[in-house]
Amino acid sequence: MLKRYAFFLAAGLLLGPRARAQTTPPPAEAKPLLGFAPAAAAAEYQLETKFDAQLKAGNLRDWMKRLSAHPHHVGSPYDKENADYMAGLFKSWGYDARIDISYVLFPTPKLRVLELVGPTKYTAVLAEKPVPEDATSGQTAEQLPTYNCFSKDGDVTAELVFVNYGIPKDYEELARRGIDVKGKIVIAKYGGSWRGIKPKVAAEMGAIGCLIYSDPKDDGYGQGDVYPKGPFKPETGAQRGSVLDMPTYPGDPLTPGYGSTKNAKRLDYRKAPTITQIPVLPISYGDAQPLLAALAGPMAPADWRGALPIPYHLGPGPARVHLQLAFNWKTEPVYNVIATLQGSQYPEEWIMRGNHHDAWVNGASDPLSGLVAELEEARALGELVKAGWRPKRTVMFCAWDGEEPGLLGSTEWAETNAKDIQKHVVAYLNTDNSDRGFLGVAGSHTLEKFFNQVGRDVQDPEKNVSIIERRKSLDLVSGSPEAQKDARDRPDLRIGALGAGSDYSPYLQHLGIPSLNVGFGGEGAGGEYHSIFDSFDDFTRFKDPTFAYGVALAQTMGRCTLRLADADVLPFEFQNLSNTVAKYGTEVKALAETMRTDTEKQAKLLADKRFDQVANPDQPLLPPKAQEAVPYLNFAPLDNALAKLEQSAQAYAQARRGPNKLSDDRKKELDQLLYQAEQQLLSTEGLPRRPWYRHQLYAPGYYTGYGVKTLPGIREAVEERKWAEADEQIRRTGAAIERFAGQVNRAAAVAGPAPAQ
């Protein structure tokens, strides 16, 4: 909208005074709104203006202060207190609110010992030091100690090895330096992957223990002044966090694929496949420095080195470390708050909006920054209802518990209610921690155009442009060449794809529910994540002091909810999806091609002994391992499916340009075809070695965790050089895309014949 206005203005200046009379911005109702007829769009805009008028930053602030007043992790008194409080709020706003309880495994530390036993001695402190400038940091008795949730118990002593981020390619570098971690304890930096990947890969490589520390280069003094002078991690700060193997399946490790109801059959926790194979503990850089300083052996590669004032050696040893961990393996209730506002016209179609409420400690940013926006959205909707409005479709507000240990609340709720969800849920709209700056949005590309219209209508609180336009500016100024090109040439912002990291996972990747995850960031960096310093004091000093972005988030997500709830026809669109999936196709083909030429190049270098000739005799560097040549894969099933997807998307777009007079029954039929289309992208078998993940377009990487893999079956097979599997996955992914295209064609048929040209 702003761009078009600017265009008119410029044209006016060129044409002189008379023409300038035409430069008044077009009335708001002229903006097209996907799924709304023009008149309905005008009404919708009026509604949104009323909605915006309700939003009050002070409410966000008050709730954040209230909800973060005490640590509120799973099993804590304040976790339940918060759930009850929110249920009460929802009820007071006119919602039908309840608390759904699941019973999940939630281990907490009984014993944590970490010592350097040789050649020098050091006993790790393993405690974050409260600061007087932070009102809640001293609630030591209520805080969970620093630990990684779902580490196994263990008592190990061994030489230490520094493994950088502890991802597979780091071990390739170690192998080239003749270093094997078998029987050793590894120390990895946070970053480079989701934390749970580090102990998983370390165990695969034969390590017997794993430490994870936050290097000051990444979120300590290497980034800026440390807390409380600045927002970055002080010497004693440590990042708690789950190490559950969520890329295999999230949720209670004892009930894979089904709900953790009170009497559900449970695995023995000692046999649960998603609990780590080795003990793992997060530590501060204050505790890490003496350990790292005691290492000898080769220097770590230059880009592995952090900001501690020591040479970063790899080991192994002579540093020897004793790590002893024991946990209370208790089952705890998790309290999911579910608040419902019944739809007036299509009550069977549910719009779900969610954010978790549990935290590792006080959790002002994570998760309350997103949750308080959600609460304000719910309250504002309640006010609209009081003023006479009703949503056409049912709206549900969810506050999940147990996200931090492994999406426990949302996953168990999704598994318990899977059938209803697949039958009724139109879309799942998630937020989590959010601060200040740039829009971040990822999700189903069937909602991309819809979301672009939402973002076009929300103003950035700091700049005189929409949140979409500001994000495009970021891409143009500092994006990758690809992002720059998109921002220049593509009308819509290309939204990201979802991996893992918050509660959308079970809805999108297990059940095929179209999902979005939205937040703001880039101007609120700090080192407080999952520490005692993620507090109200920290948030209001360094994150979003005025809650202006919290309000912008409520405007954004509120619009998503309102438009999905009230659209004449659900605002799904498939050409943007088709464009993006075609891009994924190009990427996986390029990946195979690059691997082929790289493999050939490396084979030649190996045959010519080039690596031997380069190696420094004083710092041995073995040649990389020889790799099998990359065969040509049959991408035809994918290419054929992409062609069909494109045709179907076009057909649907054309049908929707028609006169659009559908009976209520046909609208219902069309809606259902639309919102269940994404389910066609699930495969019954799921992904190789992790059947819980069924979506063929998006999954968290098996070896990256949070990081998404698009076309995951194909991409990971290629990356892992499993050629037969790659061929099989190309067929399976192609079939899913064809099923999806079929459903879109059916939707096109229901939407009506194409208009005469």
Question: Which of 107, 192, 391, 437 is in the footprint of its own copies by CB under 8 A?
Answer: 437
Question: Which of 330, 610, 625, 689 is in the footprint of its own copies by CB under 8 A?
Answer: 610
Residue 604 CB, shortest distance to its own copies, in Å, is 9
Find the radius of gyration of the CA atoms of the chain.
Answer: 27
**Cα(719)–Cα(698) distance, rounded to whole angstroms?**
16
Question: Which of 267, 307, 326, 749 is in the footprint of its own copies by CB under 8 A?
Answer: 307
Which residue lies nearer to its own copies by CB, 96 or 225?
Answer: 225
Residue 426 CB, shortest distance to its own copies, in Å, is 33
Interface mask (CB under 8 A) for its own copies, residues 230-249, using x and -?
x-x-----------------
Could you say whether residue 684 binds its own copies (CB under 8 A)?
Answer: no
Residues 182-221 touching its own copies, rule: CB under 8 A, are 216, 221
Beta bridge mates, 116: 122, 321
Residue 299 CB, shortest distance to its own copies, in Å, is 5
Q: Structure tokens of 584?
A: 């994924």
Q: Structure tokens of 438?
A: 């740039």
Could you say whether residue 476 binds its own copies (CB under 8 A)?
Answer: yes
Quick check: 250 and 219 in contact, CB under 8 A?
Answer: no
Report which secondary-structure segment, H or E, holds 3: helix 2-15
Count of residues engaged in binding its own copies, rule: CB under 8 A: 41
Residue 444's nearest CA partner among 375, 392, 504, 484 is: 504
**Cα(239)–Cα(360) distance, rounded to whole angstroms?**
9
Instruction: Tell which phi-psi region holds residue 126, choosing left (phi > 0), alpha (psi between -120 and 50) or beta.
Output: left
Could you say whether residue 598 binds its own copies (CB under 8 A)?
Answer: no
Residue 523 CB, shortest distance to its own copies, in Å, is 5
Could you say whether residue 299 binds its own copies (CB under 8 A)?
Answer: yes
Could you say whether residue 474 binds its own copies (CB under 8 A)?
Answer: yes
Residue 43 CB, shortest distance to its own copies, in Å, is 32
Question: Which of 14, 141, 478, 632 is in the footprint of its own copies by CB under 8 A?
Answer: 478
CB atoms within 10 A of CB 650: 16
Could you say whether residue 741 binds its own copies (CB under 8 A)?
Answer: no
Residues 377-396 touching its own copies, rule: CB under 8 A, are none
Residues 133-152 touching its own copies, rule: CB under 8 A, are none
Quick check: 215 and 306 in contact, CB under 8 A?
Answer: yes
Could you say whether residue 128 binds its own copies (CB under 8 A)?
Answer: no
CB under 8 Å to 722, separation ≥6 — which residues?
Answer: none
Quick check: 710 and 693 in contact, CB under 8 A?
Answer: no
Strand 280-283 and strand 209-213: the pairing is parallel
Question: Which of 118, 130, 224, 347 is in the footprint of its own copies by CB under 8 A?
Answer: 224
Could you say whether residue 477 binds its own copies (CB under 8 A)?
Answer: yes
Among 255-263, 361-369, 469-477, 566-574, the segment contacting its own copies (CB under 8 A):
469-477
Could you say whether residue 482 binds its own copies (CB under 8 A)?
Answer: no
CB atoms within 10 A of CB 470: 21
Among 340-348, 423-431, 459-467, 690-698, the segment contacting its own copies (CB under 8 A):
459-467
**Cα(524)–Cα(541) distance, rounded to whole angstroms?**
10
Among 249-257, 403-411, 416-424, 614-622, the segment contacting its own copies (CB under 8 A):
614-622
Which residue lies nearer to its own copies by CB, 75 or 234?
Answer: 234
DSSP states of 675-712: HTGGGGGB-TT-BTTBTT--BSSEEE-TTTTTSEEESH
Interface mask (CB under 8 A) for its own copies, residues 391-420, using x and -?
------------------------------
Quick check: 528 and 369 in contact, CB under 8 A?
Answer: no
- CB-side exposure of 212: number of CA atoms within 13 Å? 32
Question: Which of 29, 52, 523, 727 is in the footprint of its own copies by CB under 8 A?
Answer: 523
CB under 8 Å to 26, separation ≥6 — which residues?
Answer: 4
Question: Which of 40, 135, 310, 749 is in the footprint of its own copies by CB under 8 A?
Answer: 310
Which residue lies nearer to its own copies by CB, 545 or 631?
Answer: 545
Opening angle at CA 683, ends 677 and 686, nearest 5: 135
Q: Structure tokens of 219?
A: 């979120």
Residue 216's nearest CA partner among 192, 234, 198 is: 234
Interface mask (CB under 8 A) for its own copies, residues 689-728, using x and -?
----------------------------------------
C-alpha separations of 161 from 123, 236, 365 in Å: 18, 22, 34
Quick check: 492 and 34 in contact, CB under 8 A?
Answer: no
**Cα(104)–Cα(574) distance, rounded to whole angstroms?**
39
CB under 8 Å to 159, separation ≥6 — which residues?
Answer: 184, 185, 315, 316, 317, 318, 319, 320, 321
Could you say whether residue 30 binds its own copies (CB under 8 A)?
Answer: no
CB atoms within 10 A of CB 427: 28
Question: Which of 612, 620, 622, 689 is in the footprint of its own copies by CB under 8 A?
Answer: 612
Q: Greatest CA separation found in the chain? A: 86
Among 165-173, 393-401, 458-466, 636-644, the segment contacting its own copies (CB under 8 A):
458-466
Which residue lies nearer to its own copies by CB, 376 or 544?
Answer: 544
Could you say whether residue 473 binds its own copies (CB under 8 A)?
Answer: yes
DSSP states of 633-683: P--HHHHHHHHHHHHHHHHHHHHHTS-----HHHHHHHHHHHHTGGGGGB-
Could you say whether residue 309 binds its own copies (CB under 8 A)?
Answer: yes
Could you say whether residue 480 binds its own copies (CB under 8 A)?
Answer: no
Residue 180 CB, shortest distance to its own copies, in Å, is 22
Question: Which of 267, 465, 643, 735 is in the footprint of its own copies by CB under 8 A?
Answer: 465
Q: Structure tokens of 490?
A: 């593509």
Residue 462 CB, shortest distance to its own copies, in Å, is 5
Could you say whether residue 258 binds its own copies (CB under 8 A)?
Answer: no
Among 319-327, 552-560, 606-614, 740-748, the segment contacting its own copies (CB under 8 A):
606-614
Could you say whether residue 440 binds its own copies (CB under 8 A)?
Answer: no
Residue 409's nearest CA partner among 72, 96, 67 is: 72
Helix/strand/coil (H/E/C) assignment for every residue in 44-75 = HHHHHHHHHHHCCHHHHHHHHHHHCCCCCCCC
Could you say whether residue 223 binds its own copies (CB under 8 A)?
Answer: yes
Could you say whether residue 305 binds its own copies (CB under 8 A)?
Answer: yes
Residue 423's nearest CA partner among 352, 353, 349 is: 349
Q: Structure tokens of 133?
A: 């400038």
Which residue lies nearer to its own copies by CB, 345 or 599?
Answer: 599
Question: Which of 263, 480, 613, 684 is in the footprint of its own copies by CB under 8 A?
Answer: 613
DSSP state of 11: H
Among 162-170, 245-253, 475-483, 575-583, the segment contacting its own copies (CB under 8 A):
475-483
DSSP state of 539: I
Residue 595 CB, shortest distance to its own copies, in Å, is 17
Residue 620 CB, shortest distance to its own copies, in Å, is 12
Among 241-249, 608-616, 669-677, 684-692, the segment contacting its own copies (CB under 8 A):
608-616
Which residue lies nearer to its own copies by CB, 30 or 622?
Answer: 622
Could you say whether residue 308 binds its own copies (CB under 8 A)?
Answer: yes
What is the chain's length?
757
Amino acid at 602: Q
Could you say whether residue 522 binds its own copies (CB under 8 A)?
Answer: yes
Which residue lies nearer to its own copies by CB, 154 or 234?
Answer: 234
Kindly list the residues in this chain that would bind its own copies in the complex (CB under 8 A). 216, 221-226, 230, 232, 299, 305, 307-311, 437, 460, 462-463, 465, 469-470, 473-474, 476-478, 522-523, 605, 608, 610-614, 616-619
